[in-house]
Each structure stands twice: as C-alpha cells, then as structure tokens.
Structure 1
Amino acid sequence: MPKTVPPLSEAQIRAMEPRATRYSIADGNGLVLEIMPTGNKIWRFRYTLDGKRQPLTTIGDYKRISLRVARERARKYAEMVATGVSPAATARRDRGAEKRIDLLRDAAELYMTVAMASKSEEYQRTTRRALDKDVLRAIGNKPISGVTSEDIVAICDRIKKRGSPKMALHTRNVIKRLYEFLIGRQLATSNPAAVVPARFIATQDSRTRVLTPGEIGTTLRAIGASGIRRPLKLALHLLVLTMVRKSELIEATWAEFDLRSALWKIPATRMKSDREHWVYLPQQAVAMLRELREMKSSRTFVFPTVRGEDRPIAKSTLNQAVKALGLEVEHFVLHDFRRTAATHLLEMGQAAEAIEMALARAGKETAHTTEQADCADKQRSVLQRWADFVDAQIAAVPPESPSVEPERRRRRV
C-alpha cells in the first residue's frame, strides 16, 4: 500500500529553516519542496517514466509560486507522465512565462492569491478595494524595496482629506499585512507601514449611536423576513436580548448553559473583563436556545460553522448577514445594540447598577456581589424587561407596513 504523505501548509513552509545541506519535503502527487542552505525554497516535481526514476523537474521558486499553483502544476505534469510524456519541456516553458515579482503591483497580486485565499469574501473585497483604489494607483509601479514610510503617510493623508480617517487607518493596516507577507517570503526586508504609528493616522472615536424604538423594530423585522439561515437570525436576536458582546455570543458552547435555570455562565477566559459573567436569560432567549439545541448542528458550539468543522462561525459572519439586508438604519453596527439596551433601560427607570452588571461592566467590588440573590433578581428583571420591550417594538408595525408574519409572532426573528 503506497505511503500517504501529509499535505503541506503555507504556515509550515514559512517556518522551515535552512540546514547545512539542502533537504526536501514532499507534499504528495510528486510535488516536493527543496530548502537550500541559503534559505531559498524551490518547488520540484519527482516522477518515474518507463519504469525509470527521472531527474527532478524544477517548477519554480516558492517566493513567486504559491503552494496552490505548485500543486496545479504537479497535477498537470502527473497527467502528462501518465500518458508517457516527459513534463520537462513544459516545465521549462512554464518557468519562462513566470512573471518576476519586483513591483508592488505584482506583489499585491501574489498576496491576494496566496494569503487571502482562505479569508472570507468580505475580507477579500475590502482588502482588494483598499489596494486598487488608493495603494496601487499611487505606488503600484514602485519596486517593493522602494516603497517608503513617506509613501504610506501620503496615501493616508489623501484618504483623510476625503473625510475618511478610519479608511486611512484600514489602508495603512492592509499595506502593513502585505509587507509582513512579503517579508515571510523573502521578497522584502523591511515593512514601511510598520513604522507609521496608527495614532498618527486616526483615533478610534467613541460611538454614541443608539437605535430608536422604531429602528429596533425595523431591524429585527427585516432580519426575520430575510433569507439568511435560521441560526443566524436567532443569533442576531439573541445578541439584542442578552446584551453581550458579539464574540461572547458566537463562541458560546452548550456546556455554558443551564436552560432549566435560565442561566448562561460565560467563563472568564472569554470575557473582556477576565471575570466570569452570568447572564440571566429572559424567557424569549431560553425559547430560542431550545430551538437551536433541537437543530443538533454541533455538540460543542451553539453557532457552529456550516463547513463541517466543529468550530464556531467566523466573527464577521453576523456583520455580513446584516450588511446583506441593506437596512435603512444609518451608521449602525452590531455593537450599538449594547448601548441601545442600556440607554432605553435607563429611560425605563431600571437601576444603573443592575444594567452595568448585565453588560459585564461592573467593577471588581460590585461584580463580587453578583452571587447575591438580590443582584441576581435585579439582573433577571432587567433582561426580562428589555426582552419584553424589544418584543413590543417588533410588534409595533407602522400602518403602511405589511402585517407581521406568523413566524415572528412566535417570538422568532
């Protein structure tokens, strides 16, 4: 039985160090990577023709040929060998057609092909947009080593003049990650974006956005009527009702829940405060969690990925789901739900201390009292009051709007 060769990964390849003599490691299907004493890494193709082992055929330099492309070429050459044809001449032509990676424009294309291949479509889109719109127009034709920190500052200044300081910071970060990738492949020796401090480009403005009652209803009705997957609808509704942070929700495991007691214990390791947080679940949240548990999608995670792996959905999944709805709710991000809940609960006359505890913002001294029965009762009352308020906004359909669908009437998003 032929020996199974475990496939390589980009991370493994980047971590391979040179030795006193060159050595090789196989990827499978005849593809091998040779690591030279100089640190250079070369793709080769190993094959047998007419019963005889042939000299290794060079595919190309790892700096310029990604793992994916090398595998495609090895597959092509293996098909030629299967028909009795040597791939040596074809490999020489392929190498001759290989574009040299000297200019930043070519480096960016390699980065998008290799480093971005496993990222979400939204992440790829925003990265590509930053590169095409501002970076490559300005410095795309410069040599990789010729880009300076002054170039980065000039690009960011132009973006800020358009009134987009946060986009300027995002673009600086894209360039920084691009050069980190190039340094890892030995195509660059320094990172011109790394020496430009983020605070000199833009500061993170504190947000004050609070959704009105009408906007709460509009948002959740739109989510309920949308075509997104049912678990994502429930996740977004639970994000509103529980007042937790997005990461605390999407990484939740079933072991953290006691639905009979309507209690969710988030471990300290997953909390921003590094302290365990108890969420006293309202009736509506318990019903949604029971529905999610009946789906039996994962024995571990409440919101598992649909890719067949036992891990939670990506942090960007809920953002993408909401963005796809095209809501007519201006300047809104998911984190605004927490501020929105706190603001409306204060207006309802709920105790500020109980609200702060529900948001896991309480100081150490106050947080210690969360085990006391009266504090638990206050938090449970706050969260149930908030859930009932949210239900009322969903039900308050404007006269010109269509009637609320039956599914939503059953407290489902």
Structure 2
Amino acid sequence: MTLSDTKLRTLKSTGKLFCESDGGGLYIEVLPTGKKRWGLKYRIPTGKQETIRLGDYPAYSLSDARAWRDDCKSLAKRGVSPMALKRGDQIPSDTNPAVKELAQAFIRNWCLKAIEKSKDKEAKTKAADTVEAFSWRWYKEIVEPANSNPRNIQRLLEKEVIPAIGAKQINEVVVTDILAITDKIKNRGADQMALQARNALKRLFAYAIAREKIRFNPAAAIEAKFIAQAKSRDVALTTEEIGRLLRGIYQSSMRRTHKLALHLLILCMVRKSELIEARWEELDLGKSEWSIPGERMKKDKPHLVLLSRQAVAMFEELHKLASGSEWVFPSRSDLNRPIARSTLNVVVRALEIDVRDFVIHDFRRTASTHLHEAGFNSDWIEKCLAHETKGIRGVYNRAQYADQRREMLQWWADFVDSQIQDERGKVIIGLFGKAYQSSV
C-alpha cells in the first residue's frame, strides 16, 4: 500500500526504528524519537544497490519525496549514481550530454536545496539556543509550573538578563557575563537581589545542562559568598528601632522627599517599587485613597491603599515638591521619570544609626508583626500587604475590609508617631501638611 498524508501525520514512534513503504523503493523511516525521514533504495545498471536519504518529513512533503524518487531512479537507469551526486562527486566528463543535463538539474533541484534547508534548520536551531529564547523556554517549562509567584523571575529576565546577554548563544556565556549582571545590580545597592539573580541563573544553566545544551554552569562557578552574604528574611524592627530609625532619617541630610518616602513605606505597607513609581492620577486625597493599578502590582491585581491622616498630609507636601510632575517622586534631573529604584537603598545605607542590619522590604514585615501582636485580624493585614489567601478560604474570602483596614492603618500611623517622639515627648519630624497639623 502506498502512503498518504493522513497516514504520515499519524505515524507514531514505537520506541524502535521502523519503516513504511510507498513503493518503488521509497519509504519513510520513523525513529525512536518520533522523527520521520525519507529514504530510497535503487539499483544502478551494474546491479549494485544504493540507499540515499532526502530529508525529514514534513520539511519534504509526500509529493516532494515522490518527485525525488522519480528523478533518482531516472538517473540510476542511465548509470549515474544519485548518491554520488549528493556526496559532491563530479559528473564524469564522458557522460552523455542529455544525461549530464539531467544530473545537473538533479543537483540544482535536490542537492543544493537540501543544503539550503540544512542551513535554515541550523539557523533556527541557533535562534532557539540564544539565552533569550532558552530562558523563556526554561521559564515556561520549569519556573511557571513549580512557582506560585514566577513574576520575580520574569522581571529578572526582562530587566537584567536579556538586555545583557540575551543575544548570546547559551553555550557562549562565561563567568564574566554572570558577574557583569550581578555587579550591575550590586552597584544599585541591591546586594541581596544580586545574589538572587545569581541563584536564578544557576538554575537556568543547570536546566541547559540537563537539555544537553552546555556542559559547564557559569553561574555555579561563582560562590554565593563572593556576591553577598545571605541574610535572614525574618527581620522585624522593634518599637524602639522604629523610633530610632525614623528619628535618624529625619535628622539626616537626605532630601525631604526621600525622608517622606521612607516614612510612607512604613505607614502604607506597600513595596518600594509601588511607591516610587506612583503617579498623582492614582491618588484621591479627598477620599484618603490610593488606587494602584494591577500592572504595577506583584500579582497583577489592582490594590487599594487606605491612607491615614499622616499619609495624606505627606502626600500633600510631596505634591508641592513635585514641581508639576506626573510622578509623586520625580527624578531630580528629569521630572518626566521617577527616582531610580536604587535611590532609597543608597540613602538608607548612608544612615549612621544604631539599628540592626535590615532592608527596606523589612518595613512590611515590621508593620505586619506589630499589627498581629496588637490583635488585628490577619485577613485585614494580609489585604493591606496585597497578599492572596491560598486554598478554599482564599477562593471564598473576597471581602475588601475597607472600613476595618482604614481604622487599622490609622492606628498604625498613630503608633509609629508615638515611637518617633524624643525623650521630651516632641515629634521632631517637622510639620508637613495641613491635615496632619490640625490633628496634632
């Protein structure tokens, strides 16, 4: 029986190599991997049998293979070996002109086209093995299925890895390339983020080894201690440390906007990026609300921040300091963009205060810890942190707790204020808005 397109499409691997004939010596070979390739057996006038291969299906269709078979057998009958032509052997000089013309047409139609197809396949393989292409393959196949929050890895690839080495072949990446990425992140004052980037790249290249793309892991060659010392992620400031930290911030020489930004991070319980990339259009100070759009949130879901009197007053002052910019925290050199992500890290590192080693993200943990200790409902706190409740409870618990959260955040702002007072009972942070002035 001859082959058909339907049969070719439905041929499946059995784990062993097998062939299906189309007649006239033409057959399709199915490899254990599932790959299908065309082959042809024929005899030349001397009686010698030869076997020649065309290429893979469906790169070469059934009609292509049959036309190739007919051309091969036509040459073989005339004493010319198609296999020799494919190998690149010269056409004998004493060959009949008509046969010679057939041989030259065969070379043009099949041998040269086969070379072009091979080059195209090689180019596609090379494109699939760039760091950018392979990184997204790793992300889709490994990171997304196993990680409840793959967004951090996605951001790392988009912002750090692909711009730096995305165009390189995965097997061309060296230790220096990894160090260039981690050093750039460290120079922004984000040592722990640099360490996390190295760890993610180590997993990426381990996957490349498993897929037989490389034999050496350039990220694993860099010991973690050469990038940053791993720190505990359990830091929550004590009440005394909250006061000491904020007094140190307001007594420092840092810019007023940076002081207010750090204070707002504690009061609003938002992430650093959510604050410094805030636009005025997101804020309704009359309602004491800040609506953060989903595209700026870690979970891609919009988040409503209920603002305390203190937070509203700080935003009112910041509006005056923004010089008409759309950004709440515009860059000093360019009002059309916000301050750099590293800015607040840098000013915190410059502080000379007696507070345990901490990072800005610990402000959220600090607020959560003290609110839980004060007996506030965990659901209200998690909603303020924009955390998702997992399991069945999370599916049914859609309440926003707006009134409760507003009351809780006002309590938290007042509590923080009470820690900032010096030994004489005076708040030394300065007056920064009519709403707050009227309340003290």
User: What's the TM-score, normalizing by structure 1?
Assistant: 0.51
Aligned 8 A contact 1:252 1:303 in 2: yes
> Which position in structure 1 is the counterpart of 2:351?
325
Question: Is 1:369 paired with 2:399?
Answer: yes
Q: 5+ residue gaps in structure 2?
A: 1-173, 203-213
User: C-alpha distance in 2, partners of 1:358/1:347?
Assistant: 16
2:292 to 251, 266, 269: 266
User: C-alpha distance in 2, partners of 1:195/1:292?
Assistant: 45
> Which position in structure 1 is the counterpart of 2:187?
123
User: C-alpha distance in 2, partners of 1:342/1:358?
Assistant: 9
> Which position in structure 2 is the counterpart of 1:285?
311
**Aligned CA distance change for structure 1 residues 254 and 198 (closer, same or farther; 3 Å):** farther
> Which position in structure 2 is the counterpart of 1:358?
384
Q: Which amino acid aligns with 1:407?
A: G
User: C-alpha distance in 1, partners of 2:190/2:377?
Assistant: 42
Question: Is 1:193 paired with 2:218?
Answer: yes
> Which position in structure 2 is the counterpart of 1:221?
247
**Aligned CA distance change for structure 1 residues 190 and 327 (closer, same or farther; 3 Å):** farther
Residue 191 of structure 1 deviates from its aligned partner by 8.2
User: C-alpha distance in 1, partners of 2:223/2:290?
Assistant: 37
User: C-alpha distance in 2, partners of 1:330/1:116?
Assistant: 25
**Aligned CA distance change for structure 1 residues 272 and 204 (closer, same or farther; 3 Å):** farther
User: C-alpha distance in 2, partners of 1:393/1:125?
Assistant: 28
Query: 3-state DSSP class of the match of 2:291?
Result: strand
Q: Which amino acid aligns with 1:193?
A: P
**Aligned CA distance change for structure 1 residues 203 and 333 (closer, same or farther; 3 Å):** closer
User: What's the TM-score, normalizing by structure 2?
Assistant: 0.48
User: C-alpha distance in 1, partners of 2:236/2:313?
Assistant: 27
User: C-alpha distance in 2, partners of 1:292/1:348?
Assistant: 31
Residue 303 of structure 1 deviates from its aligned partner by 0.7
Q: Which amino acid aligns with 1:123?
A: N
Q: How many residues are matched?
A: 245
Residue 405 of structure 1 deviates from its aligned partner by 3.4
**Aligned CA distance change for structure 1 residues 260 and 222 (closer, same or farther; 3 Å):** same
Q: Which amino acid aligns with 2:361?
A: H
> Which position in structure 2 is the counterpart of 1:234?
260
> Which position in structure 2 is the counterpart of 1:153?
none
User: C-alpha distance in 2, partners of 1:301/1:125?
Assistant: 23
User: C-alpha distance in 2, partners of 1:349/1:238?
Assistant: 23
**Aligned CA distance change for structure 1 residues 293 and 125 (closer, same or farther; 3 Å):** closer
> Which position in structure 1 is the counterpart of 2:302?
276
User: C-alpha distance in 2, partners of 1:288/1:168?
Assistant: 32
Percent identical among aligned pairs is 45
State the structure with more CA Rg: 2
> Which position in structure 2 is the counterpart of 1:388?
414
Question: Is 1:407 paired with 2:426?
Answer: no
Residue 294 of structure 1 deviates from its aligned partner by 1.6
Q: Which amino acid aligns with 1:405?
A: I
- Give RMSD over aligned pairs: 4.2
> Which position in structure 1 is the counterpart of 2:329?
303
Residue 171 of structure 1 deviates from its aligned partner by 10
User: C-alpha distance in 1, partners of 2:403/2:238?
Assistant: 27
**Aligned CA distance change for structure 1 residues 253 and 324 (closer, same or farther; 3 Å):** same
Residue 362 of structure 1 deviates from its aligned partner by 3.2
User: C-alpha distance in 2, partners of 1:345/1:126?
Assistant: 28
**Aligned CA distance change for structure 1 residues 124 and 311 (closer, same or farther; 3 Å):** closer
User: C-alpha distance in 1, partners of 2:292/2:355?
Assistant: 31
Residue 268 of structure 1 deviates from its aligned partner by 0.9
Residue 326 of structure 1 deviates from its aligned partner by 2.0
